A and B are shown apart, each in its own frame.
Chain A
Amino acid sequence: QKEVEQNSGPLSVPEGAIASLNCTYSDRGSQSFFWYRQYSGKSPELIMFIYSNGDKEDGRFTAQLNKASQYVSLLIRDSQPSDSATYLCAVIPSGGSYIPTFGRGTSLIVHP
């Protein structure tokens, strides 16, 4: 069973701080990695994707991938109360089906 693990949280950070969300995966051959944000009662929306080791920045968001250690993280700089949501990590495993495996998500609370 190919697994994706996330700390369920909640992770609570003050407004303006950096929020760091982590995700580990079991399949060493995994090829691509996605972060989705899901507000309560709503569907997931894509924030970022990353395929290669290293950092990828988009505005206040940075995705970090370390394939050797099998983890991917999402940093949110200058966190805002509107960032309060559940963040889902999704991983495309090896094997050719290209169907992502989702983690259970980390709840983030940004307090003023």
Chain B
Amino acid sequence: DGGITQSPKYLFRKEGQNVTLSCEQNLNHDAMYWYRQDPGQGLRLIYYSQIVNDFQKGDIAEGYSVSREKKESFPLTVTSAQKNPTAFYLCASSGTGGFRETQYFGPGTRLLVL
């Protein structure tokens, strides 16, 4: 089955710790995205990548970092500089054919601070 997987489902971070969220897709999509969702809020774009070895900051990139070494993988690191990391993190992917491309989402990772 084609799809997007995210792991872990729940992640706990201690003060001063960096943590990495995994996102893998087998949809052969060129573009991948990371969003953050807070309760009662919409989706806010953290980073996106439209091709391997290239990525762009979204609206709220501070305190986060990404890499795109493989087409299938787009891990997100939440650094200690992110002071309020508790949120639901969603990874998405899409083709890059234009305005008709649809984003599909993984199941999400819920990050909690200890």
Contact = CB atoms under 8 A, between A and B. Distances in A.
A27 B60 CA distance: 21
Contact of A42 (B33, B40, B102, B108): B108
Contacts, number: 46
A99 B48 contact: yes
B107 A100 contact: no
Nearest to B108: A43
Contacts of A105: 42
A90 B33 CA distance: 15
Interface in B9-67: 33, 40-43, 45, 48
Contacts of B103: 34, 46, 90, 100
A46 B104 contact: yes
The interface centre, meaning the residue of A31, A43, A100 with most chain B CB atoms within 10 A of its CB, is: A43
Interface residues of A, number: 23
A43 B105 contact: yes
B100 A51 contact: yes
Contact of A88 (B43, B94, B104): B43
Given A31-B99, A43-B105, A44-B90, A99 B42 contact: no
Contacts of A104: 40-42
Contacts of A102: 42-43
Given A43-B108, A44-B105, A92 B40 contact: no
Given A43-B107, A88-B42, A88-B43, 13 more contacts: A32-B99, A34-B102, A42-B108, A43-B105, A45-B105, A46-B102, A51-B100, A90-B103, A98-B94, A98-B96, A100-B103, A102-B43, A104-B40
Interface of A: 4, 8, 31-32, 34, 36, 42-46, 49, 51, 88, 90, 92, 98-100, 102-105
Shortest 10 CB-CB contacts between residues of A and residues of B = A31-B99, A104-B42, A43-B105, A102-B43, A102-B42, A43-B108, A32-B99, A92-B99, A44-B105, A43-B107
